[in-house]
């Protein structure tokens, strides 16, 4: 096996140094309602910054172990990123407006969501990373993506390629920010029933299947090192069974497709990411 001389590499502006695997990862944690997504996410390495856009944390976050950090609102209470969009910015089927009026309304909607959601969310996210948190949880990433998209240019971002590109870039930048600073990012997401548009004869026929698919930002699976799907199976008269299926594992692809009993973050990562001895 041939090697280039290190001095030659250095002179040319290259290096062959392989750094130790970082003690961090970006991941998707998906499941339907009641599968323990938030509870599992809160087992991540501490201190943990919890950024909630959902309504399901109360009653769960109190049971978490270790230091859970939340941004503080002006009222001194933990901030929750729930946006109440004014009635006049919403779109209705019976609305009569010109294209110019619609574009102006979409612009006002975008400005509102940018100021009420994106700016504080991004600022808190960056501040948490700078403060030294080990893990950030977005609960849920679906709302993060929907609000971020609206903050670009209202609902018009779904129809214009240039606005789609800008929204995609902003989402990617936030996801990669955790990776750049060696912080774990757990993006909690929901699953929804998968619909198929064609029958066996190729005819258009929309129908709901028994399969599930992820909601939200469709490029997320490309940007993460790990994707987990959680499942809960009720049992007669006993505790329900919680399971985790490995959908993506960049560190060890042999686990993809396998299902295991649900276990806390560090225990599961000890199996899936053996290159990290400690996540502290």
Q: Read off the CATH number of the domain in which 128 is found.
A: 3.40.50
Structural domain including 226 reads: 19-272
Helices (H) and strands (E) in the chain, counts: 8, 9
Residue 14 lies in a domain: no
Q: Which residue's entry shows tokens 């909630």? A: 52
Residue 48 lies in a domain: yes
Tokens of 203: 């005819």
Residue 7 lies in a domain: no
Q: Per residue in 109-119, is it b (16+ CB within 10 Å) or e — as a string?
A: bbebbbebbbe
Residue 136 lies in a domain: yes
CA dist., res. 122 & res. 242, Å (int)? 33
Q: What is the pLDDT of residue 44?
A: 97
Q: What is the pLDDT of residue 46?
A: 97
Q: What is the pLDDT of residue 169?
A: 94
The residues facing 190 across adjacent strands are 31
Residue 212 lies in a domain: yes
Q: What is the pLDDT of residue 113?
A: 95
For each of the chain's 280 residues, which pLDDT tens digit applies? 888 999 999 999 999 998 888 899 999 999 998 899 999 999 999 999 999 987 657 788 899 999 999 998 888 888 888 888 888 888 776 678 888 888 888 899 999 999 999 999 999 999 999 999 999 999 999 999 999 999 998 877 777 888 889 999 999 999 999 999 999 999 999 988 877 776 667 676 676 777 778 788 888 999 999 999 999 988 887 788 999 999 999 999 999 999 999 999 999 999 999 989 889 8
Residue 255 lies in a domain: yes
| Chain centre distance of CA 197 | 27
Residue 278 lies in a domain: no
pTM beyond 0.95: no
Residue 30 lies in a domain: yes
Q: What's the domain count of the chain?
A: 1
Determine how many CB atoms are found less than 10 A away from the CB of residue 14.
11
């Amino acid at each position: 096996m041939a090697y280039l001389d290190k001095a030659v590499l250095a002179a040319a502006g290259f290096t062959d140094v392989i750094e130790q695997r970082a003690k961090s990862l970006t991941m998707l944690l998906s499941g339907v309602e009641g599968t323990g997504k938030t509870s599992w996410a809160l087992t991540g390495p501490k201190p943990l910054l919890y950024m909630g856009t959902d309504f399901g944390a109360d009653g769960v976050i109190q049971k978490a172990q270790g230091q859970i950090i939340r941004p503080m609102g002006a009222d001194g209470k933990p901030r929750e990123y729930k946006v109440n969009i004014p009635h006049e910015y919403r779109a209705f089927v019976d609305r009569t407006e010109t294209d110019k009026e619609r574009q102006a309304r979409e612009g006002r909607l975008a400005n509102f969501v940018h100021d009420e959601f994106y700016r504080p969310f991004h600022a808190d996210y960056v501040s948490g990373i700078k403060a030294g948190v080990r893990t950030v949880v977005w609960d849920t990433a679906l709302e993060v993506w929907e609000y971020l998209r609206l903050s670009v240019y209202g609902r018009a971002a779904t129809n214009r390629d240039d606005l789609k590109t800008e929204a995609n870039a902003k989402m990617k930048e936030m996801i990669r920010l955790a990776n750049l600073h060696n912080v774990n990012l757990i993006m909690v997401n929901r699953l929804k029933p998968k619909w198929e548009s064609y029958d066996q004869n190729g005819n258009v026929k929309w129908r709901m299947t028994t399969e599930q698919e992820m909601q939200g930002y469709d490029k997320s699976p490309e940007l993460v090192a790990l994707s987990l799907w959680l499942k809960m199976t009720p049992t007669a008269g006993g505790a329900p069974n919680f399971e985790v299926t490995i959908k993506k594992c960049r560190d060890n692809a042999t686990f993809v497709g396998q299902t295991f009993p649900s276990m806390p973050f560090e225990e599961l990562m000890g199996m899936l990411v053996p290159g990290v001895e400690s996540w502290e």
